[in-house]
Amino acid sequence: MSGKSRREAIKANKGRMLSGAAVLAVGSIVAKMLGALYRVPLTNVLGAEGMGMYQLVFPVFALFMVLSTAGIPTALSRMVAEKRAEGQPTKKYLVSAIVVLAALGTVLAIMTFALAGKFAAWQGNADTRTGFMIIAPTIILVSLIAGFRGWFQGEMYMLPTAVSNIIEQVVKLAVGIGLSVAFIPRGVVAAVNGALLGIAASEVCALVYLVATYFVRGRKLKGERLHISRGDAKAMFAVAFPIAIVAVLMPLSNFLDSVILVNVLKGAGVAQDAATAQYGLLSGPVNSLVNMPIVVIMSLAVVVVPSVSASRVQRDIGGVMLKSRLSIKLAYLIGVPSAFFFMVFAPRLLPIIYPALSAEQLELTVKLLRVVAANVVMLSAMQIYVSLLQALDKTKYAVLSLVFAIIAKIILSVALVRYIGIMGGAVASLVMAATAFAGTNVAFVKICGMHLEKNVGLNLLCGVIMALCGLALSSIVKNNILATALGLIVCAAVYLWLAFLFGLIGREEIEYLPMRKLLRALHRIVRFWEYKKDETR
């Protein structure tokens, strides 16, 4: 391949990665907005205690959901991307993966149903037993959904993942809230179970859509043989195993939270309903807000694995570095302003979103959000680093980083919650994110030699200046809704202007971003001297 052809291929691959990321990002934004909309009325219907019960069930569901996929979807997307880059058929990998995923999902669904009472006892709240039994069959659906998404992502066809995410949220919003409202006269436990039934209904609808999409797209792949060789299967599971370990660690951390926090709070003398409510505030309203920008960035992480893997197979080192650098920079560009916005506007934002919380609960939630807001930056960047390490076949470094981070979190949770209450859980979460971020960052820099310290420092400077502008505006405007809306507009404008001014986004990088025409025009206004220099040449 000539130098010019290689450059064109790199640019095309980079464009496909970012267009795929844009599709997933838009879908993630819409889905997360719907998810946030779902959490607001759900919190107002269930209350803090009911939300705590819901959040006790959900980490176990998430953990078993990850165990049921065993890293296969990510490995599938990586292998499909690599085989497509080599011009080989890929349909057989999906068929084999679906068979394995269905078997794993079934085993874990039966296990969840059978151990429902045990889980409820371990978490210190026997009322959640029925919830575990309701959610158990959903594990089978989720494992199948993950398989189809992995195959589509490996084909660099991101629309089905985005649309299925939105379908999940729409159905969960309609059915979950509807059943919660219908069941609340029977008590909080019945309302929580109604919300969990909404999750099951949402997964059914998402799976139906993905299967239909597969058969429509599968017409183009007629003639591909479906038999997978023993060598191919061994290769896929060899890739899947370390990815599965990484994938299970974060849900495992959340599951341990559901066991540790409520029980330690009860051991410190807090009543069961109050302990469940405090856990619900941290794991529900607070983590839901923190996860909103993280989900947008994770859509980029999902695209990074197959895209960088394809470049690695093609020995396109330039493509690997370009995609890696841009994805990391975007993680900071989204994460840093989001974290500072939450820190500044938490007292204004939370009363708007969660009006059903008492004044005491709102005060605690504001403190919790301000402590864990920095997780937006660290977890976002960590997710990108983990995805890059997976794509470069260096997953073991991600595993080690996450293991040490979770150990630190467990120790701090047990030590701090007893003395400073649920705030100890927030501090432990912050330390875990910092440890995981530092470990994956050091590993990636060691492997690729990519240093972005100056870029990160300038991002933080932009964030501080933006936060000061937000504080000034918040002190002037007294109405919560107006202050939050104006704050969002002003902070976004200030940060974007500073990002252009300090060169955090280059002219060449704008060409691969969504809304590039608008960004190009703004870049021309802010860095006018660059364009004048071009005109004088």
Q: What is the pLDDT of residues 373-397, one digit of tens each?
A: 999 999 888 888 887 787 777 888 8
Q: Which of 224, 379, 269, 294 is nearest to 36 (CA)?
A: 294
Question: Which one of 220-229, 241-250, 307-316, 469-478 scores highest in mean pLDDT?
Answer: 469-478
Separation in Å, CA 291 to CA 182, 257, 365, 390, 454: 29, 17, 15, 22, 26
Q: Write out pLDDT tens, residues 408-417.
A: 999 999 999 9
Rg of the chain taking only CA atoms, in angstroms: 23
- Token pair of 180, please? 């919660």
For residue 144, with 0-12 CB atoms within 10 Å meaning exposed, 13-18 middle and 19 or more buried, which class applies? buried
Query: Measured on CA atoms in the order 20, 23, 26, 29, is the torsion positive or negative?
Result: negative
Identify which has the larger pLDDT, 4 or 112.
112
Per-residue confidence (pLDDT) for residue 202, from 0 to 100 = 93
CA 168, CA 191: separation in Å to the nearest integer?
19
Asked whether the predicted pLDDT for residue 349 surpasses 80, the reply is yes
Cβ count within 10 A of residue 315: 8
Confidence of residue 68 (pLDDT cuts 50, 70, 90): confident
Per-residue confidence (pLDDT) for residue 491, from 0 to 100 = 95
Asked whether the predicted pLDDT for residue 302 surpasses 80, the reply is no
- Token pair of 226, please? 């479906």
Question: Which long-range contacts does 96-99 make (Cβ < 8 Å, 24+ apart)?
Answer: 96/228, 96/233, 96/236, 97/72, 97/73, 97/147, 97/150, 97/151, 97/236, 98/144, 98/147, 98/148
Asked whether the predicted pLDDT for residue 131 surpasses 80, the reply is yes
The chain-wide mean pLDDT, for the chain, equals: 81
Per-residue confidence (pLDDT) for residue 229, from 0 to 100 = 62
Q: What integer is the mean pLDDT of 23-51?
A: 74
Asked whether the predicted pLDDT for residue 333 surpasses 60, the reply is yes
CA 151, CA 171: separation in Å to the nearest integer?
24
Count CA atoms within 13 Å of residue 475 on its CB side: 6
Buried b or exposed e, range 423-447, using 16+ CB within 10 angstroms: bbbbbbbbbbbbbbbebbbebbeee
Asked whether the predicted pLDDT for residue 424 surpasses 70, the reply is yes
Confidence of residue 123 (pLDDT cuts 50, 70, 90): confident
Asked whether the predicted pLDDT for residue 141 surpasses 90, the reply is yes
Give every CB contact of residue 384 below 8 A, 6+ residues apart in sequence: 297, 300, 301, 304, 327, 328, 331
Question: Which one of 86-95, 278-287, 410-419, 501-510 scores highest in mean pLDDT?
Answer: 410-419
Asked whether the predicted pLDDT for residue 6 surpasses 60, the reply is no
Q: Which of 97, 69, 70, 66 is nearest to 214 (CA)?
A: 97
- pTM value is 0.71
Identify which has the larger pLDDT, 307 or 288.
288
Is residue 234 helix, strand or coil?
A: helix
Q: What integer is the mean pLDDT of 139-166?
A: 84
CA 403, CA 408: separation in Å to the nearest integer?
9
For 106-110, 361-365, 504-508, which range has the lowest pLDDT when averaged over its residues? 504-508
Q: Write out pLDDT tens, residues 261-273.
A: 989 998 888 888 8
Q: Which of 418, 319, 425, 435 is nearest to 379 (CA)?
A: 435
For 108-117, 152-161, 244-253, 508-517, which range has the lowest pLDDT when averaged over its residues? 508-517
Question: Which long-range contacts does 504-512 make (Cβ < 8 Å, 24+ apart)?
Answer: 504/329, 504/333, 504/455, 504/458, 504/459, 504/462, 505/329, 505/333, 509/326, 509/329, 512/14, 512/15, 512/18, 512/326
> Which residue carries 């703004």 as its tokens?
522
Q: Write out pLDDT tens, residues 428-464.
A: 999 999 999 999 989 888 887 777 777 888 999 999 9
Q: Which of 190, 99, 200, 196 is nearest to 147 (CA)?
A: 99
Q: Which of 206, 92, 59, 56 is nearest to 140 (CA)?
A: 206
Count CA atoms within 13 Å of residue 382 on its CB side: 26
Q: Note whether 475 and 481 are within 8 A (CB).
A: no
For residue 405, with 0-12 CB atoms within 10 Å meaning exposed, 13-18 middle and 19 or more buried, which class applies? buried
Q: What is the CA 77 to chain-centroid distance, rounded?
A: 17
Per-residue confidence (pLDDT) for residue 161, from 0 to 100 = 81
Q: Work out the end-to-end distance of the chain between its first and last CA atoms, rounded to an integer number of angstroms.
A: 33
Give every CB contact of residue 215 below 8 A, 6+ residues apart in sequence: none
Where exactly are the structural domains of the chain?
3-451
CA 65, CA 168: separation in Å to the nearest integer?
15
Q: What integer is the mean pLDDT of 40-57?
A: 83
Identify which has the larger pLDDT, 405 or 161.
405
CA 421, CA 423: separation in Å to the nearest integer?
5
Q: What is the dihedral of CA 195, 119, 298, 407, to 10 degrees?
A: 150
CA 386, CA 382: separation in Å to the nearest integer?
6
Per-residue confidence (pLDDT) for residue 446, from 0 to 100 = 86
Asked whether the predicted pLDDT for residue 494 surpasses 90, the reply is yes
Q: Which helix (H) or strand (E) is 115 found in, with range?
A: none
* Alpha helix stretches (DSSP H) within 115-187: 116-122, 129-135, 138-154, 159-171, 177-183
